[in-house]
Amino acid sequence: MGPRTERRQQHGEESRRRILDATVEIAAERGYEGTSIALVSERSGLPRSSIYWHFRDKDDLLAAVIERSYHLWRERLIAAGSARTPDLDRAGALREITAAIAASLLDQPEFLRLGMMLTLERRPVEAKARELFVGIRNEVLAFATREFQTMLADVSAAEREAVARKLAAFMLAAADGLFLAYQLAPDTFDLLGQFELLAIVVDAAWDRLTV
Amino acid sequence: MGPRTERRQQHGEESRRRILDATVEIAAERGYEGTSIALVSERSGLPRSSIYWHFRDKDDLLAAVIERSYHLWRERLIAAGSARTPDLDRAGALREITAAIAASLLDQPEFLRLGMMLTLERRPVEAKARELFVGIRNEVLAFATREFQTMLADVSAAEREAVARKLAAFMLAAADGLFLAYQLAPDTFDLLGQFELLAIVVDAAWDRLTV
DNA sequence: TCCTGACTGTACCAATCGTTCCATTCCGAC
DNA sequence: GTCGGAATGGAACGATTGGTACAGTCAGGA
């Protein structure tokens, strides 16, 4: 890998990035079937043939978009969640977590938008992109479950995992729902306030499930 | 309207129903753009021209589908929610409500599936179908808010409406999220258990918001 | 028997779909 | 300058898209 390939790759990567930028924008607006290669070409300024040079086919392109938007969202979430106040009580910790999720979703909404669309769109030939999202989603759920388990020190080991899993699944699903409601009416839906309520609600459920 | 028109209308209504049946099935699977007239024709067994005889265009067809699936779901929800146990405490009442919602969604999932897809799909030319769903959704929210207000007798009138609206918005959004998670993994997601948890959670939030 | 209006069947339209092909351009290495 | 691979440009492909036009079928009323 001399400097030659580096420069060439820089040029190629730049085009690839522009294609992905255009695609994520379109796909988050119009779903899988609504994302046409012609529109991607038009909005990225690159010819159709370039798209097929960088990606095998449409399915491959959409999968790449999911992957990249996931990583962008994940970085944003980690950035928002890293500044944790030490020695916080459970309610406070939950409030910080939900605030971080809300911030990451406001900043990088494309990943979840796209993932939800792929969740709902059940085409006969299952798209690679959908499978990718399902896998990522399961990882996130497993991560949240582990986090909750460490916060459940006072519960017997037997029921700890079950409670943690149930709470994590609920919290993730509820966060999805709040995001969706926000997509429906961004001007009137109080996303941040609802995420605060989510923290309160999970905290309360904690008591009721473990007593 | 003599017997002649009746018979003819019966025939026509039958065709119209078959078209709507096929469309709702396809649209709930593939979204707006994925719903092609050719596929609707094939699955309903009626020629394309009949579809255009019954509906002005694709947009009109989709709007009709939304409307009918909403009414079907609504009937199912009312049926599930009408058998309310008298003199139940708040927690019990909430559990009955969430159970009714869960049952209606399991029985008539198409309405919410379709509505969510239209919520996420933001095409430049806003479809009539989407506006219809937004309107229905606002009605449901208003209804839930009113119901909650009557259950908030112990709260001062000033904050009663605000609290009821916030709780109703949260409950609806969370229900959407649970439904979505179930769509993602119907085999592993415990929809009924999660809806029970939703009842518990809203009951707990009630105390914390009104104290 | 003929008329009428609801519905069906066929053919057609321009536009767009995803994809392929291939000639051309670009640019660093030699 | 020449070579080679990365990348672009443009044309073309067969299939499918939503939509229109129109003739034909059918049943019931006059």
CATH for A194: 1.10.357.10
| H or E element, residue B72 | helix B58-82
Quick one: B167 and B90 in the same domain? Answer: yes
Residue A205 is nearest to which of B113, B121, B204, comparing CB atoms?
A: B204
User: Which residue is closest, via its CA, to the C1' of C11?
Assistant: B49
Q: Could you tell me the pLDDT band of residue A88, with boundaries at 50, 70 and 90?
A: confident
From B14, B32, B55, give the residue that closes a domain.
B55
Q: Domain range holding B21?
A: 1-55
Low-confidence ranges of chain B (pLDDT < 50): 1-8
Q: What is the pLDDT of residue A125?
A: 65
Quick one: B79 and B180 in the same domain? Answer: yes
A156 backbone φψ class: left, alpha, beta (φ>0; ψ -120 to 50): beta
pLDDT above 90 (res A106): yes
Tokens 């104290």 -> residue: B211
From B55, B75, B92, give the residue that closes a domain.
B55
Quick one: A145 and A178 in the same domain? Answer: yes
d(CA A26, C1' C9) / Å: 38
CATH for A17: 1.10.10.60
Quick one: B104 and B153 in the same domain? Answer: yes
Q: What is the pLDDT of residue A123?
A: 77
Residue B194 is nearest to which of A32, A169, A208, comparing CB atoms?
A: A169
d(CA B4, C1' D29) / Å: 8
Quick one: A35 and A87 in the same domain? Answer: no
Strand D nucleotides where any atom sits below 7 Å of a protein CB: 6-12, 16-22, 27-29
The pLDDT tens digits for A160-196 are 899 999 999 999 999 999 999 999 999 999 999 999 9
Quick one: A81 and A27 in the same domain? Answer: no
pLDDT above 50 (res A128): yes
Interface test with B, best of A32, A120, A139 (most B CBs within 10 A): A120
The pLDDT tens digits for B129-144 are 888 898 999 999 999 9
Quick one: A100 and A184 in the same domain? Answer: yes
**Beta-carbon separation of A180 and B177 below 8 A:** yes
Q: What is the pLDDT of residue A6?
A: 43
pLDDT above 80 (res A130): yes
Strand C nucleotides where any atom sits below 7 Å of a protein CB: 6-11, 16-22, 27-30
d(CA A81, C1' D8) / Å: 43
Quick one: A180 and A78 in the same domain? Answer: yes
From B12, B28, B55, give the residue that closes a domain.
B55
Number of domains in chain B: 2
Whole-model pTM: value is: 0.91
Quick one: A81 and A164 in the same domain? Answer: yes
Quick one: B97 and B66 in the same domain? Answer: yes
